[in-house]
């Protein structure tokens, strides 16, 4: 308890400026992606401890690639091509619409 209390007191001494209502920076995006990937690796390794890490990596990668190959309708593809012709590679604007 004493260690936990001391740790909390140290945390209170360190003021953190919370950023609200702004886009994440590219560095923050990278940190989030890296953190999520590390968390996923840890959870999968815990779930399947009898499998070697290298096999888990390749199996997971294959499964995720299959998921990311979503089926696009002809109309969807036409809309994306039309948008790209009009606005260039400003994909963030497309996702916001």
* Domain extent for 66: 24-91
Q: Identify the residue with better confidence: 79 or 96.
A: 79
pLDDT above 70 for 3: no
Token pair for residue 34? 């890296």
- Which phi and psi (to 5°) does residue 19 adopt? -100, 125
Question: What pLDDT shows up at residue 17?
Answer: 86
51 occurs within a structural domain: yes
79 occurs within a structural domain: yes
Q: What proportions of the chain, in percent to the nearest 5, are helix, strand and coil? A: 70, 0, 30
39 occurs within a structural domain: yes
97 occurs within a structural domain: no
Total domains in the fold of the chain: 1
**What is the maximum alpha-carbon separation in the chain?**
64
Q: What is the average pLDDT score of the chain?
A: 81
1 occurs within a structural domain: no
């Amino acid at each position: 308890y004493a260690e936990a209390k001391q740790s909390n007191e140290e945390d209170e001494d360190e003021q953190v400026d919370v950023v609200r209502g702004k886009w994440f920076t590219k560095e923050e995006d990278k940190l989030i992606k890296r953190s999520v990937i590390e968390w996923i690796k840890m959870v999968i390794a815990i779930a399947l401890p009898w499998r070697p890490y290298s096999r888990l990596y390749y199996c997971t990668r294959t499964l995720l690639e299959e998921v990311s190959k979503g089926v696009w309708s002809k109309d969807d593809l036409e809309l994306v091509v039309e948008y790209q012709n009009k606005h260039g590679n400003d994909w963030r604007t497309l996702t916001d619409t």
